[in-house]
Structure 1
Amino acid sequence: MPRRAAQNWLRTRDPGLASVRRAGRVALVACTGFYAARYGLGNDVAAIYALFGAIATGGMSFVPGTPRERARTLLAVLPLAAALVTLGTLLGAHSWTAALGMFGVGFLVSFAGVGAPRLGGLAGGLQAFYILACFPPYAPATLGARLAGLATGVVLMAAAEMWLLPDTPPGRYADRLAGAAALAAGTLRTLAEGRSPPSGSPERLLTASRELRLSRVPEDERPTSASARHRALCQGAAYMTHLLAQTRQLTQDARDAPDVRDPATARLLRASATACHDAALGLSGRGPAPSDAPYTAAAADFEAHRVRPPAWGTDSTAVVRGGALALDIAHTGTCLVTAVRIALGAPVPPDPTPPAERPGPFWYAGRPTLALYACRLRSHLTPRSVYFQNAVRIALALAAARLIVGALDLAHGLWALLATITVMGTSATGTRTALRPAFTGTLVGAAVVAVMLYTVGAHVAVYAFVLPFLYLLAFSAGPVLGMGWGQAFSTIAAAAAFAQLGPARPGLAAVRFTDVVIGGLTGALAGLLAWPRGGTGELRRACSRLLDQSTRAVTETIDTLTAGRTAGDALARTRLAWVIAGESYAQYAVERGAPDRTRPAERDWMAVLLAGNQVTTIGQSLLDHCAPGALAVWPLGAAHLRDAALRIRLSALPLTYEPRSRKPHPPPVEPRAPDTPTDRTVIADVFASSRGRPADPLPYYAVDAALWLTSLEGMVAAIRRTPDEPRTPVPG
């Protein structure tokens, strides 16, 4: 019974025993290469590099993907690892040359991961190769042995990824998106058939929307690379989230007014359900890439049908509102289908965005991955980029640690720089959080090392016997028990390895602890002085800017449509702010690590991005279809639209400043009064005033504008709440 309880406890801490299997692979490969070179070939240099080759690529790195993909990645970076070892060997003659090289390597390796998650996951290991080679002894003549040992460790690690305790292939983000599309398809089909949706449909739609957020997705499943496929998956998730929200609104309306039906709306919903179903099949690999031709035709037919003024009755407002929501779902679904086709590698039509408004939403379609990667690198070459900030911080910390170690002539100074890598985060808070367990674990491990070296002495066979078990504990204890435990066992394992290469005295424990303290403090100081807020601080700033530009664009668009004012560049500025905020959110999701439901985000950042996306897409559509002042023919409805836009602007103002100061500010407007005009009020006013008017689509654009503002008001309300607060639908 205790054994079963221990297994259950371990599986709770390490689902699927992924960390234990990974630790087993690293321990077996590292020790196999080390023993073969040390005792088989009698070459200590090759033994150390074979050991570190496996540890750096298996223990210090995180490479997402399937076992086969990880193996290919390790083999692909082997030439780069060899170049770093060569560079470190040549620059290790002097401390200042080694430090300069350390700064360049630290920055370039860290920054290169901006659009390549696999390369970013290998950053720590690649830096370790240069670190190991740039420390004394300066021996260029041993470069051949170093490279041979390195190749042995990396190749063995690549083979182990496929054949030795291989991990279960990670989930696919495309399957999450496919599941959400299938759920939307089923709900839309139910609504089209006039049947009442199941009682839990709104909650299921909301849950599916939340599960698309990157903060809820495991690290090895997140589509964060610069490739067109990953960009399309992220953009498709944004469209899917809005489609789910509008579908949820339709289900709530159907529950409130179950007898209201419109055949034209039902046909459009049926086409939308078919398109979502086809998208789900394509994303899951059970069908071809979806086509938007039937979808587009159904939307065009509906728009042609709805320009005829309705015979106004008691249910007319509900019919018009339901049709507008269905048309919004159709247009959103068209964008979703385009994103899915890009993700699946299917051809898409040329970008219809006018040249003055480019780049369009799918500007990346058809571009090579290397070109998109270069584009992302260029866009992040700015101090406002979290990737740039993090790369500079790490480079400064590593270079400073290398200079300090060289100036003090510390023995085993390698551990100082490895400690710097260990404690460096993307924020000062993350660095401080890692500092204490790193010091505590090293101190405990050093104490055990002192006792071990004193009692075991020169009995090398004992160290050789316990080394695999120590490395197994070193790489499994951290994820299961905490960073301090991993650091303690790593200290003991390193001492056991080096004790097999030459005489080791108990004083080695004190040297190791001193090195870790110096490296840890250097990393903490760099993290405190250089952009201490990291990804979270930059995300607050980017989302603050996006909210500000978005609400300006809303008021500018509504003023243009209802008062005839000239449209400015607010929508263009919102597009740029949306791109920057999206990149910051991707980095923030990486910084938070694996999903943790007990550690919710301080703000619903995804809702900010969704609001920005809706402002740009629907706002531009309204401006494209309506001349300036076109909606002024309905004075009361136009006034309601301007009031709603202003209310959104004022409600979002505290959020645009709160992320910068972190201080709560009272809202500048009173809570929404129960008698505040809603989109239903605008619909009733527009069509009551349009009797006898020739058939044209203009009244429906007023309806679309009203629903757009209602949707944005709900998003702002969601942003104002903390993510763990319950969501309630916005009235109207």
Structure 2
Amino acid sequence: MSRRDGLEWLRARDPGLRAVRRSTRVALVACTGFYAARYGLGNEVAAIYSLFGAIATGGMSFVPGTPRERAGTLLAVLPIAAALVTLGTVLGVHSWTAALGMLGVGFLVSYAGVGAPRLGGLSGGLQAFYILACFPPYAPATLPSRLAGLATGVVLMATAEMWLLPDRPPGRYADRLAGAAATASGVLRTLATQTRSLPLGSLEQLTTASQELRLSKVPDEERPTSASARHRAICQGAAYMLHLLAQVRQLAQDARDASGDRDPAAARLLEASATACHDVARGLSGQGPAPSDAPYAAAAADFETSRIRPATCSPENAAVLRSGAIALDIAHTGASLVTAVRIALGASVPADTTPPAQRPGPFWYAGRSTLSLYFRRLQTHFTPRSVYFQNAVRIGLALAAARLLVGELDLAHGLWALLATITVMRTSATGTRTALRPAFSGTLAGAAVVAVMLYTVTDHVAVYATLLPPLYLLAFSAGPVLGMGWGQAFSTIATAAAFAQLGPARPGLAAVRFTDVVIGGLTGALIGLLAWPQGGAGELRQACAGLLDRSTRAVTGTIDAITTGGRAGGALAQARRALVIAEESYAQYATEPDTPDPARPADEDWMAILLAGNRVMTIGQNLANHCPSGALAAWPVSAAHLRDAAHRLRLTTLPLVNDLRSRKPRPPPVEPPDPYARTDHTVIADVLAAADGRAPDPMLYYAVDAAIWLAGLEGVVTAIRPATDGRAAVSG
């Protein structure tokens, strides 16, 4: 293989050579601090802590953000790292105190990342600081040297993040949202001026824009998953955008079959929506100010007035009425999108007008500090139903059990057992078992090389010092490029080369290292098997089942309220909470390796469930806000159709809810629903018949909005099922 071919192969496996640059930074910083303390100052304690300070924060951690942001994060957590080293030094007096401390540290450090991705990315490294300090020798007098070495390694690593082969700044999810808004703006403007002649590729552009917003398509460092108001608003804006894109696509498809011109008032409403989406795109990309929903005010009022003019019952008027209702839905969704984007950009938003019984409202977090939102998320997830809580408990138990076992067996170099536990622990038992094999095989291969190296080199320290930088370079680059086993093998060799410079090393050290890794890996696998073994996929099933259940309850409650005068109660608020849990469960699931599971839907079906939940929120809240209780009771035919459709949706969804909770595969429907029996067509015919030749009650037109809402939900729900080849049957 030529040099050019080799570089192309490496770039294919490591886009942008990010792993190579990262491993170079870690190797140079770790060795620099280690050599300076070991050979310059003659302080072996400071040397090992400087080495681990760089490895833990650079090699064992993943901190999203720009190079400057990553450097700032490392410096900010330095006091926390020092506290963990101090705690480990003090509790290391006994095995049982060290194990109890490990239980608390393992849980707290892991759980603290629930609303702070940067802190979550550092959890493995922070745990390593306590692990290193709590093992023998118990030497509190060395604490100053430990802290000095730690500070040296972390500060050097923070400096290297900015100045030594810095990574390119990651992409922004806000730019993806801006691109989707620009796409929607272009298609909406075309729909406002042309009825049927859409540009080629418009539907494909809308689909591509929807795909780009899926978290599973977004690199980890781009995902807006923190508890801050900005990230919450961007995620919520993406949810509104997905619904808006789906409705624009539906309107574009309907336009191809339209037989007449578009209603001028609906065209003005579409033009206003196009303007708002354009402003959203400019605001998010930094090319303009925060968007405003002012374009909607006059256009929406004009449309509400014009659509209740006397009409005759005809196919042309039915198409106009249907497209107008979809245009109004797009406008309402766009107004919510504008509000979310204004929050993300730090602009002012109107006060929350959600009725007390339906709170929290959709923008309850506006104006709240990041710290208060972070503590609220910690409180929300402090439940066994949270994947974050489950992972924190599993990691805490596994590390504590491994520490107690190592202490009881009095294993030399037991540190590696706990580091192996961190390495193999995943959010599911399947993921943990998958990681065990490369961890064991890589350690075994590395241990064999270590045995030969120690036997051959013996006590020639200069040889180990020469080999250390390239070994650590391979240790942190081989894993991402070649696989976990290769990284584990080179890490085993590099660590042996480092410790061989601190004292006499014998070939038997290789066997000890392998034994420790096996004990730590098996402990982690056993805990993973016993405690919530399903991981993110299992909780996502439960969360999506709960979302479908709560959402359809909210639908039936809302329809019953506007048609019979009943009360919906807090159904929408409960559905909104279920949606939050499902979205965060999906965010966790999206980070896990793909493992075949015939009992779960594929990615597109999860997104379809989340889209259904978002549709319930966006349109359901608009109906609740604008259509008073019992407003449609005077129109019994339309009201009956709506109630039937809502309860039919509920009955259609219940088997899917039960299948998700019981892990049974969802079979495809026997036959697709009859498109000519859809609720929206029936209700539109009723409205036109009631309005024929006279001005009807304006409230009646909310029946059309509700009918299109129900028809869209029915189409999404009936399509949710895993296909036989593991791919989804719907596009989301």
Give the TM-score range, shorter chain. Answer: over 0.9
- Structure 2 match to 1:501: 502
- Structure 1 match to 2:607: 606
- Structure 2 match to 1:177: 177
- Structure 1 match to 2:264: 263
Q: Structure 1: how far apart are the matches of 2:124 and 2:731?
A: 44
- 2:273/2:334 contact within 8 Å kept: yes
5 Å matches for 1:62-101? Answer: 62-101=62-101
Q: Structure 2: how far apart are the matches of 1:613 and 1:697?
A: 26
Q: Structure 1: how far apart are the matches of 2:612 and 2:76?
A: 40
**SS of match in other structure, 1:500:** coil
5 Å matches for 1:137-286? Answer: 137-194=137-194, 196-257=197-258, 259-286=260-287
Q: How far apart are 1:667 and its partner, in Å?
A: 7.2
Q: How far apart are 1:129 and its partner, in Å?
A: 0.4
5 Å matches for 1:70-469? Answer: 70-194=70-194, 196-257=197-258, 259-469=260-470
Distance 1:592 1:299, change over 3 A: farther
Moved more, 706-715 or 103-112: 706-715
Code of the aligned partner of 1:164: L
**SS of match in other structure, 2:591:** helix
Q: How far apart are 1:709 and its partner, in Å?
A: 0.8
Code of the aligned partner of 1:708: W
Q: How far apart are 1:577 and its partner, in Å?
A: 1.5
Does residue 489 (structure 1) correspond to residue 514 (structure 2)? The answer is no
- Structure 2 match to 1:571: 572
Pairwise CA RMSD of aligned residues?
A: 2.0
Moved more, 368-377 or 643-652: 643-652
Moved more, 373-382 or 545-554: 545-554
Q: Structure 2: how far apart are the matches of 1:79 and 1:607?
A: 44
Distance 1:31 1:258, change over 3 A: farther
- 2:293/2:335 contact within 8 Å kept: yes
- 1:188/1:273 contact within 8 Å kept: yes
- Structure 1 match to 2:49: 49
Moved more, 440-449 or 352-361: 352-361
- Structure 1 match to 2:3: 3
Code of the aligned partner of 1:190: T
Distance 1:75 1:627, change over 3 A: closer
Distance 1:544 1:430, change over 3 A: same
**SS of match in other structure, 1:347:** coil
Q: How far apart are 1:18 and its partner, in Å?
A: 0.5
Q: Structure 2: how far apart are the matches of 1:645 and 1:200?
A: 35
Q: How far apart are 1:382 and its partner, in Å?
A: 1.1
Q: Structure 1: how far apart are the matches of 2:730 and 2:387?
A: 31
Q: How far apart are 1:678 and its partner, in Å?
A: 4.2
Q: Structure 1: how far apart are the matches of 2:51 and 2:621?
A: 58
Distance 1:665 1:16, change over 3 A: closer
1:506-562 deviation digits (Å, cap 9, x = unpaired): 000000000000000111111111111111111110110110121222223323333
Q: TM-score under structure 2 normalisation?
A: 0.96
Q: How far apart are 1:696 and its partner, in Å?
A: 3.2
**SS of match in other structure, 1:719:** coil
5 Å matches for 1:465-484? Answer: 465-484=466-485
Q: Structure 2: how far apart are the matches of 1:253 and 1:129?
A: 61
Q: TM-score under structure 1 normalisation?
A: 0.96
Q: Structure 1: how far apart are the matches of 2:338 and 2:44?
A: 58
Code of the aligned partner of 1:104: G
Q: How far apart are 1:642 and its partner, in Å?
A: 3.0
**SS of match in other structure, 1:689:** helix
Q: How far apart are 1:632 and its partner, in Å?
A: 4.4
- 1:654/1:667 contact within 8 Å kept: no
Give the % identical residues. 78
Distance 1:259 1:694, change over 3 A: closer
Q: How far apart are 1:248 and its partner, in Å?
A: 0.6
- Structure 2 match to 1:61: 61
Q: How far apart are 1:646 and its partner, in Å?
A: 3.0
Q: Structure 2: how far apart are the matches of 1:168 and 1:666?
A: 46
- 2:311/2:693 contact within 8 Å kept: no
Distance 1:377 1:677, change over 3 A: closer
- 1:260/1:315 contact within 8 Å kept: no
Q: How far apart are 1:111 and its partner, in Å?
A: 0.6
**SS of match in other structure, 1:458:** coil
Q: Structure 1: how far apart are the matches of 2:260 and 2:460?
A: 86
Q: Structure 2: how far apart are the matches of 1:276 and 1:677?
A: 30
Q: Structure 2: how far apart are the matches of 1:81 and 1:150?
A: 8
Distance 1:26 1:666, change over 3 A: closer
Does residue 672 (structure 1) correspond to residue 677 (structure 2)? The answer is no
Q: Structure 2: how far apart are the matches of 1:499 and 1:339?
A: 57
Distance 1:312 1:671, change over 3 A: closer
5 Å matches for 1:619-698? Answer: 619-664=620-665, 671-673=672-674, 675-698=676-699
Q: Structure 1: how far apart are the matches of 2:719 and 2:463?
A: 61
Q: How far apart are 1:458 and its partner, in Å?
A: 1.1
Distance 1:650 1:670, change over 3 A: farther
Q: Structure 1: how far apart are the matches of 2:3 and 2:419?
A: 36
Q: How far apart are 1:648 and its partner, in Å?
A: 2.0
Distance 1:667 1:479, change over 3 A: closer
Q: How far apart are 1:50 and its partner, in Å?
A: 0.6
**SS of match in other structure, 2:349:** coil
Count of equivalent residues: 725
Q: Structure 1: how far apart are the matches of 2:96 and 2:106?
A: 15
- 2:227/2:370 contact within 8 Å kept: yes
- 1:34/1:48 contact within 8 Å kept: yes
- 1:308/1:696 contact within 8 Å kept: no
Distance 1:603 1:471, change over 3 A: same
5 Å matches for 1:542-561? Answer: 542-561=543-562
Q: Structure 2: how far apart are the matches of 1:576 and 1:669?
A: 33
Moved more, 713-722 or 225-234: 713-722
Distance 1:638 1:241, change over 3 A: same
Moved more, 632-641 or 342-351: 632-641
Q: Structure 2: how far apart are the matches of 1:311 and 1:651?
A: 34
Q: How far apart are 1:583 and its partner, in Å?
A: 2.2
**SS of match in other structure, 2:677:** coil
Gap regions ≥5 residues in structure 1: none
- Structure 2 match to 1:520: 521
**SS of match in other structure, 2:546:** helix
Moved more, 180-189 or 674-683: 674-683
- Structure 2 match to 1:21: 21
- 1:650/1:668 contact within 8 Å kept: no
**SS of match in other structure, 1:631:** coil
Code of the aligned partner of 2:559: I
1:581-607 deviation digits (Å, cap 9, x = unpaired): 22222222233599xxxx994562222
Q: Structure 2: how far apart are the matches of 1:274 and 1:223?
A: 26
Q: How far apart are 1:358 and its partner, in Å?
A: 1.3
Q: Structure 2: how far apart are the matches of 1:316 and 1:674?
A: 19
Moved more, 1-10 or 556-565: 556-565
1:450-486 deviation digits (Å, cap 9, x = unpaired): 0111111111111111111111111001011111110
Gap regions ≥5 residues in structure 2: none
